[in-house]
Chains A and B, each alone.
Chain A
Amino acid sequence: MKKADLSVQVGKLKFRNPVLLASGTVGYGNEMSEFIDLNSIGGIVTKSLSLKPRKGNPPQRIVETPAGMLNAIGLQNVGVEEFIKEKIPFLKKFNVPLICNIAASTYEEYVECTKILTREDAITAFEINVSCPNVKEGGLQFGNDVKAVGKITAGVKAVTNKPIIIKLSPNVSYISHFAKVVKEEGGDAVSAINTLVGTAFNIITRKPKIHNVNGGLSGPAIKPIALAKVLEIKQSVDIPIIGIGGIMNWQDVIEFMIAGSSAIQLGTVNFIDPYAAVTIIKGLEDFCMKQGIEKISELTGSYII
């Protein structure tokens, strides 16, 4: 039987399969490459970068919750300069689309980071993180403000020819309003969702379990919410969607594609099973064969409601 075509298109971006590794769960590729052949996956989204290095939040940064985890890493990263000098040479060795995630504290910083990084041929596209819940300034603040998201989209588009994906926050009433402004300002795609704001307390000390008090909830606990957000965007805005949120196996990927995703990102599962991407891609292949699906992209938005 003929092998199914797993390749997908997200706007101008072409991936060999719909399985990308989410920002903050793949570092800069080196640790993951010890487990899997990075050339076999759809793409890599690197850890959020800011203009200057960020130390990140003090411990405790993570706590496990039922079927999920809270994290407040605080965008610890090496900064743009070291990324170019130290990390890109390693990532260049692979034949895998590299999506560079940018998280900034100000509008100007988003634009400046994009301007510098767009000169790097190794970078295929940018994912703009307007929705990190764990830093005091910027992040969530931008993600909650439709006008700010529009302004950032237009600002970064103006300084690069590379595709721009805006990573949306689920901590809003109508995520589709944000997707709409991204499209209006020329954004190429959206990724949804980032983590949900959550917290947890120690019942003896009565203190939050996370130093930052709040963290971002991820893992299978958030999957139904993520699916609903993807569906909401799909039903109201004509923009490619990269689905994210608690994907643990190939069945979850199919579900996200049916709800409207053109591609997906694996996040928390990488911490538990660094081989997950490879297992999932194999599962998708087998599913398509069994179901007689010639092109997996047929599944995108194929829901029957």
Chain B
Amino acid sequence: MPLVIFVDDSETALASTRMVTNSMPIEVKQYTEAQTALAEIKAGMTPDLIITDLNMPVMNGFEFLKALREVPATKRTPTLMLTTETKPELKQQGKALGLTGWIVKPFNPAQLKQAITRVLRLPA
């Protein structure tokens, strides 16, 4: 099964995404700190999709994305930003860093499922 990792400093945000994805044919791993997820990726974990929050303490979503692109295994891994931020300049910044897409919170469960299905090319 494809591995999808979620990174968000909010436990409740992670719980929401977990409840949306638990019926999907994917393996899900969740992290409250981007640096922990990054350490596991550097240790050999190879996610098929990364969904991350932007505003997080210690390492924010953009810093995480930059670091991911420096690791050979995740240089091209599809990555979605899941955030409350809506500013076009931030979206542009994400696009320039190789972001796959932008989802604004609160997300619609059906749309999130659809996005994961589309990126991973899962049977609809």
Judge: A and B partners, yes or no.
no
Which residue numbers of B lie inside 8 Å of A, CB to CB? none
